[in-house]
């Protein structure tokens, strides 16, 4: 009897041993990845296809806009628009405004955008990034010469260059004029160009412009000087004195509306025959000094986007008044 019990007990132990061994050798479902997924990396749980933890993925989704397939285009710096620009030129805008319908390629000269009201306005953002000290005649047939173009003045307080302020206001003015139906020509669309004062005037002449508006900023050894002034030829100008009356009418309209829009001091209408960019003109023109970069308060305004918009609105309103009594030339 005892022997039978010992045999039964041995059989039971053997059976129990086999069952235990089978259980220990079997994989559990949790240790194998589900079909079509990547293996787990790190303690945060199953990994997604970007190999980030859930926490990192959540943070990234909140801080970075989602990109659709149609949005995945290279930036303008990676793939510049025609014409091609150099690395030094990539800071120039390829569009006038993010909300604008009018594209503006960087660093071209004589860029024209057609309007609907029949009037042609040429905007000349004065100066450029690098001046050109080569000489050109101050007027047709003149023996006196001047540098083709300079880089202009700059803020006495933070060094911000005039040529950039001129361009910033020019772009705002262009936008307004296009919205009002004008055909607008930019003598330059960026700062990395090389275009002389004669060439700027020639663009206006060839277009038979109804008005040629040259945008500049002033400077003085006296830091109390401030205000808006506009330069144009005298009636005795040997090159285009016959345009004096039209130029005075244009610039009177520009000055009054600019002062009204900005509240700036009147620096006046100044007649001078020393500007080659005016002497070569065959159309009404004015060199607008929008303010003094040597006056701390006015310099800060000239670099302020909201004030630049006021300047642009004033110029556009002045153009509106000037052409309101004149038929288009084109």
- Residue 114 is classified by DSSP as -
Q: Are residues 261 and 312 in the same domain?
A: yes
Q: Are residues 45 and 140 in the same domain?
A: no
- Residue 294 is classified by DSSP as T
- Percent above pLDDT 90 for the chain: 68
Please state the pTM of the whole predicted model.
0.72
Q: Are residues 130 and 167 in the same domain?
A: yes
Does the residue 199 lie in any domain?
yes
Q: 237-267 pLDDT, tens per residue?
A: 999 999 999 999 999 999 999 999 999 999 9
> Which CB contacts under 8 angstroms, 24+ apart, belong to 324-329?
326/210, 328/117, 328/118, 328/119, 328/120, 328/210, 329/120, 329/208, 329/209, 329/210, 329/283
Neighbouring residues of 236: CB distance < 8 A, sequence distance ≥ 6: 273
Whether the CB-CB separation of 189 and 92 falls below 8 Å is answered with: yes
Task: Label residues 171-209 b or e (16+ Cβ within 10 Å = b).
Answer: bbbbbbbbebebbbbbbbbbbbbbbbbbbbbbbbbebeb
Q: Are residues 39 and 156 in the same domain?
A: no
Does the residue 97 lie in any domain?
yes
End-to-end CA distance of the chain: 129
Average pLDDT, the chain: 79
pLDDT for res 130: 97
Q: 34-49 pLDDT, tens per residue?
A: 333 333 323 323 333 3
Q: What's the CATH code of the domain at 220?
A: 3.40.630.40
Of the listed ranges 102-116, 146-160, 268-282, the least confidently predicted one is: 102-116
pLDDT for res 231: 98
Does the residue 25 lie in any domain?
no
Asked whether residue 26 carries a pLDDT value surpassing 50, the answer given is no
Of the listed ranges 97-101, 112-116, 163-167, 207-211, the least confidently predicted one is: 97-101
- Percent above pLDDT 70 for the chain: 69
């Amino acid at each position: 009897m005892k022997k039978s019990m010992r045999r039964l007990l041995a059989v039971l132990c053997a059976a129990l041993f086999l069952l235990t061994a089978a259980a220990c050798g079997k994989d559990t479902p949790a240790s194998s990845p589900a079909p079509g997924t990547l293996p787990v990396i790190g303690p945060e749980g199953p990994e997604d296809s970007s190999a980030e933890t859930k926490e990192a993925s959540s943070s990234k989704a909140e801080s970075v806009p989602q990109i659709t397939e149609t949005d995945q285009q290279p930036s303008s710096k990676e793939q510049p628009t025609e014409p091609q620009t150099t690395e030094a030129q990539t800071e120039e805008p390829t569009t006038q405004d993010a909300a604008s319908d009018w594209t503006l390629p960087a660093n071209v000269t004589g860029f024209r955008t057609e309007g609907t009201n029949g009037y042609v306005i040429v905007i000349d953002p004065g100066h450029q990034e690098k001046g050109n000290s080569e000489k050109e005649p101050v007027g047709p047939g003149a023996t006196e010469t001047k540098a083709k173009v300079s880089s202009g003045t700059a803020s006495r307080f933070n060094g911000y260059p005039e040529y950039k302020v001129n361009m910033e206001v020019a772009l705002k003015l262009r936008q307004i004029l296009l919205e009002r139906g004008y055909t607008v020509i930019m003598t330059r669309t960026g700062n990395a160009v090389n275009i002389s004062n004669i060439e700027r005037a020639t663009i206006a002449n060839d277009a038979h412009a109804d008005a040629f508006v040259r945008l500049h900023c002033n400077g003085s050894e006296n830091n109390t000087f401030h205000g808006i002034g506009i330069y144009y030829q005298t009636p005795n100008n040997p090159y285009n004195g016959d345009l004096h009356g039209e130029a005075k009418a244009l610039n009177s309209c520009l000055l009054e509306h600019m002062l009204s829009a900005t509240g700036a001091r009147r620096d006046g209408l100044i007649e001078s025959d020393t500007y080659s960019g005016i002497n070569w003109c065959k159309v009404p023109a004015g060199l607008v000094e929008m303010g003094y970069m040597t006056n701390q308060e006015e310099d800060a305004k000239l670099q302020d986007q909201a004030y630049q918009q006021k300047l642009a609105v004033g110029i556009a309103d002045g153009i509106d008044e000037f052409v309101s009594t004149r038929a288009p030339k084109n």
